[in-house]
Amino acid sequence: MSMAPHSDAVPRVRAWLMELQARIIAALEDLEGEGGARAVTDPWHKAPGEALQGDGITRIIEGGRVFERAGCGFSHVRGPRLPPSATQHRPELAGAPFEAIGVSLVFHPRNPYVPTVHMNVRMIAAGPPGQTPVCWFGGGMDLTPYYGFDEDVVHFHRSCRDALTPFGDDKYPRFKQWCDEYFYLKHRDEQRGAGGVFFDDFAELGFEQSLAMTQAVGNAFLGAYLPIVQRRQDTPYGERERDFQLYRRGRYVEFNLVWDRGTHFGLQSGGRTESILLSMPPLAGWSYRREAAEGTPETELTQRFLVRRDWL
């Protein structure tokens, strides 16, 4: 952990995060095209007297030509004490007041050949009143295809590696492994997707460089994901592909509700439920003991893409 050297740490991070959210939503609206879906903007505030104070902006596209549901939320909340999900690795801060600020997004495309994507960048500052806060960072991005293409996943992982390389050659392989281990459905012994990078409780580079690394990840997102969308969004599909997409989305719901620390942090700390759950797909499905035939693209997904492997 690292002490923030400047009193303007939180305002600086807040300004960058709000700009990042605006830039990402503008890119989505460009993809939707003229006459396509526009993002709804929903600013919110936690009223005085509630357990958690703060504000945020939820930006979301629903029912679009390209994106069936694409939510990108900015939040900045303050609480009287850190919840258990944030202090398991720092017991000395148990019960300390905190601020958490971040941007989190999940995009669920309409076309089953376009993968779902998640990205999150955040900072938490905590400490006793009157003292310089302890700050740490977290974030990453990961890809969840329904129909896998090597070139898409390789491009995504290469973008993650290139964003992290200036901060040390160890960062991409380390955060890639962290992502594989984190986005894993233990109750099904199954990866959530094709991975990416993930880091949490991070401050080992000092405040400035840890922030710069987090910004590099957030700024790399559009270049990592948009070329994949543009390549696949007009691929023809039918009822079979749509049914399989909804079935696999069910796995996404399971992970977010059962295992995701961010979801648990938001709910435990009294956050805004609608914003916390904007990652949920508009439609999902479950089947009892569903099995795909050998040699099909659906089987290839689980055998080649939902496994831990070196994509580079």
Q: What is the pLDDT of residues 165-216, one digit of tens each?
A: 999 999 999 999 999 999 999 999 999 999 999 999 899 999 999 999 999 9
What band does 134 get if pLDDT is binned at 50, 70 and 90?
A: confident
Mean predicted lDDT score pLDDT of the chain: 90
Please give the pLDDT value at position 88: 67
For 40, the token pair is: 């709804």
Q: What is the pLDDT of residues 77-124, one digit of tens each?
A: 888 887 776 666 777 777 788 889 999 999 999 999 999 999 999 999
Average pLDDT estimate for 70-76: 94
Q: Full-prediction pTM beyond 0.95? A: no
Q: Give the whole-angstrom CA distance, residue 203 versus residue 123.
A: 10
Q: Which residues are catalytic?
A: 118
Task: Check: CB of residue 66 under 8 Å from CB of residue 27.
Answer: no
Q: Give the whole-angstrom CA distance, residue 133 versus residue 9.
A: 10
pLDDT at 1 over 60: no
> According to CATH, what is the number of the domain 2-285?
3.40.1500.10
Task: Check: CB of residue 108 under 8 Å from CB of residue 144.
Answer: no
Q: Which residues of 158-167 are buried (b: 16+ CB within 10 A; e: fewer)?
A: ebbbebbeeb
Please give the pLDDT value at position 4: 45
Q: Give the whole-angstrom CA distance, residue 46 versus residue 146.
A: 37
Please give the pLDDT value at position 212: 97
Q: What is the pLDDT of residues 241-257, one digit of tens each?
A: 999 999 999 999 999 89
Average pLDDT estimate for 22-49: 89
Q: Give the whole-angstrom CA distance, residue 7 versus residue 57.
A: 24
pLDDT at 217 over 90: yes
Q: Give the whole-angstrom CA distance, residue 32 versus residue 66.
A: 6
